[in-house]
Structure 1
Amino acid sequence: MKIVLCIIVALVIFNGIANAQISQGTIAVSTGTNLNYSSSSYKGSDTKLNQFNLNLTGGYFFAQNFIIGAGIAYSSTNYKSSSYDYDTKSTTFSIFSRYYINGAFFLGIGYGSVKYEDLDALNELDFQVGYAAFISDNISIEPSLNYGLGLGDNEGNTFLVNLGFGLYLNR
């Protein structure tokens, strides 16, 4: 089974490198989602977490392998324990740019503003490293590592592992 998995991974990587470049004029649309449901009990204290995230981004390759775009994301979180109850929703608006190396590996930078229901907007500078594994000429699976640096009053930093799907038109 491990050999089969290694062969599939090698073929996906080779396919991404073989597709080489993403040409100027290509339009890209990608989406990702995250569902998290967990429940735990420790020494008589029960906790439950329900979380849902959905994001959509789009961009335009104004030069070969270089895209600029924008995105929107929605998040809903509900956390309950015997002593605490927390429920919030947020909307994020962002802009980003990415540079694709050999049309597969990418480096990205972005800026996002998160608005929670009951708080002022929080701003973040995002850095991204990832890989666009093309499973066809126009469709990719895109794993990435993201680091968010809080700006201004947002002193928090985030580190995320993401998995997204991309659609590349006019490629």
Structure 2
Amino acid sequence: MSRSWERKVQKNQLELNKQRKKEGKKPISLTQSTAADSTAETFKGRSFIFPIFLILFIGFYVMVTLRSPVYEQTGAMFWVTIACYILLAVLFFFRKPYLTISKEYIRSRRFMGDKSLFKDAIKAIVVKKGYVIIEQKKGGNWMFSQATNRFPTDDMREPLRVFAANNSIPFMEK
């Protein structure tokens, strides 16, 4: 079976399970059931670099605008823009990145939403001091850092080793 077909099936199963959950029914796929999720381990981090960047950006924007002669012409939209940037920074700060390790997949929150990597799509897992890198066969690598996103990389090492051993994925520790 082709990979694109598998992705379509998984996407449709997720949508159907969301509808069934709203109706109060049990999910039909194992990846969404409570039995499968009970064996999954989730590690949460904290995103603080992008919110800090947004706050610094909006501070620079305010300083430049307040010192220019154009400030008298700015209206309420100027302050709405500032409020929206601050709201965006707060949203990114409280929206924690995570890594979920299950039997057959690894799931994480990427910039555009939650993404799953199934065992067939993983080329290797590399663990360094303070870093975990999941190399994909197709696409960019997923990197989880203790310094930038406050992930507990030491705690993630053993579940990733077990996941790699169970699914015949190369596991490198440096």
TM-score by length of 1: 0.32
Larger Rg: 2
Higher strand share: 1
